[in-house]
Amino acid sequence: MKILHIIRNVNPEAGGALENVLQQSKAFEVLGWQGEILSLDSPDEPWVIANPVKTHAVGIRSPLYKRLINVVPWLRYGYTPHLVPWLRAHVCEYDLVIVNGLWNYCAFGALRGLRKETTPYVVYTHGMLDPWFRKTYPVKYFIKQIFWWLSEGRLMSGASAAIFTTEEERLLARNEFWPWRVRDERVVPYGIADVGGDRQAHVAAFRTAFPDLEKRRFLLFLSRIHPKKGVDILIQAFGSLARAYPDVDIVIGGPDEIGLRKNLEELAESQGVARRVHWLGMLRGGVKWGAYLAADAFVLPSHSENYGIVVAEALACGMPVLITDKVNIWREIEASGAGLVSLDELAEFTRILRKFLEMSDREREQMGLHARAAFLRYFDIKVVSEKLVELLRELTIRNSQFGTT
């Protein structure tokens, strides 16, 4: 079977959606299937060239366009005149298409390029229908409703299935935009590969990269630095507890996409903890895994998180996780005893942070064992890929028997 993923870009800083695509492609290889990617990147981008999965990049090459895209927000929509012609010329070579994400030209381009073709497609929403955006950005929500009428809604109604990463995400997405016309709703979690290599070597690589942290205990935040991730909540909660726990620091890793770090550094300064909040930037490879393994716990006080692939990575490392109930895998975390879950508010997150710091070494060790067990049960790619493969087989068989409508 030959699968085509359509996604906005293959830049490693893109987040969980890309990581999910890469992990799925590895799982397909084990079955003898072939997974390829169609992206809106320019073909000469270094991450396109380095991407381990065959990538057809159809974006605009112009250097001027690349400069403007960073200063003109609407250009980030990703329009390229090459996407639709490419799809119409090549989609017949694939057994199924997976459209990853909404609210960029992948959606509208896929609608135009796929609607008259017989190749079935599914839409992986990746949490982009979460009500948090409507509540937080009402003007953007109104604009998105217009896009829903013009493209996203039509794309969803024509899909063989809409795929959500959790049951929580599926329920939250229903009727978020009008009209809601979806043939089939399915839940297929993200999966990740288990931690590879020598764990002690990973920790050593991290300690070497950041020697100031060599003898410090710390709690790790690793994600995009974005308003919805609740980094401000983390800093304020830590600020209120830091004096009582002088041997604990906060480590923040991840790309600063919109220039939020400066404001957060000022917040840490006002809380009196600037010297104990460490900003590491983007972490990759063994250094990233070493950060997980060296931490006391992983923290993600997010206001909206359809899944949180970084949470699954922490669980794979046997790390307790401290999250809000807006991270849509919170039920699995709570049921497994793999961490602590709070409401999405400062007082509650402060409470669970204090509760964790007051635990004994034995209690934290036990929670880490539960974390590892939760990973193996829910999030290991070997388990998750079976669900996806079963769904894709079902859809292609259905299409061959009844055709598309």
For tokens 């974006």, the residue is 59
Sequence-ordered strand ranges (E) for 233-346: 248-253, 277-281, 297-300, 321-324, 339-342
Q: Please work out, in degrees rounded to the nearest 5, the angle formed at the alpha carbon of residue 303 by the alpha carbons of 195 and 342.
A: 75
Distance (Å, whole) CA 96 – CA 251: 41
Alpha helices for 6-130 (secondary structure H): 16-31, 46-50, 63-68, 83-90, 105-114
The answer, yes or no, to whether residue 404 has pLDDT greater than 70, is: no
Mean pLDDT of 369-376: 97
Least confident range of 9-13, 117-121, 244-248: 9-13
Domains, the chain, with CATH or none? 2-191+382-402 (3.40.50.2000), 199-379 (3.40.50.2000)
- 396 or 230, higher pLDDT: 230
Distance (Å, whole) CA 231 – CA 262: 12
Query: 398: pLDDT confidence band, cut at 50, 70 and 90?
Result: confident
Q: For the segment 109-143, what is each residue's pLDDT rounded down to a tens digit?
A: 999 999 889 999 999 999 899 888 888 889 999 99
* Residue 397 neighbours by CB under 8 Å, 6+ apart: none
Highest mean pLDDT among 19-23, 81-85, 253-257: 81-85
Mean pLDDT of 32-54: 95
Least confident range of 71-80, 85-94, 139-148, 159-168: 71-80
Distance (Å, whole) CA 352 – CA 358: 10
In terms of Cα–Cα distance, which of 130, 122, 135, 124 is closest to 169?
130
The answer, yes or no, to whether residue 385 has pLDDT greater than 80, is: yes
- 23 or 109, higher pLDDT: 109
Looking at residue 246, its amino acid is: P
pLDDT at 70: 67
3-state secondary structure of 34: strand
Distance (Å, whole) CA 285 – CA 14: 16
Distance (Å, whole) CA 193 – CA 195: 7
Q: For the segment 326-368, what is each residue's pLDDT rounded down to a tens digit?
A: 999 999 999 999 999 999 999 999 999 999 999 999 999 999 9
pLDDT at 74: 62
Mean pLDDT of 245-262: 94
- 332 or 16, higher pLDDT: 332
Token readout for 103 is 């609210």
The chain-wide mean pLDDT, for the chain, equals 92
Burial of 146 (0-12, 13-18, 19+ CB in 10 A): exposed
Whole-Å CA distances, 373 to 191, 200, 403: 14, 20, 42
pLDDT at 405: 42
Distance (Å, whole) CA 288 – CA 313: 10
310-343 burial, b at 16+ Cβ within 10 Å, e below that, comes to bbbbbbbbbbbbbbbbbbbbbebbeebebbbbbe
Mean pLDDT of 386-403: 81
Contact 254, 282 (CB under 8 A): yes
- Write down the pTM of the prediction: 0.84
- 3-class SS string, 123-162: EECCCCCCHHHHHHCHHHHHHHHHHHHHHHHHHHHHCCEE
The answer, yes or no, to whether residue 403 has pLDDT greater than 80, is: no
Query: 19: pLDDT confidence band, cut at 50, 70 and 90?
Result: confident
In terms of Cα–Cα distance, which of 360, 361, 363, 362 is closest to 339?
363
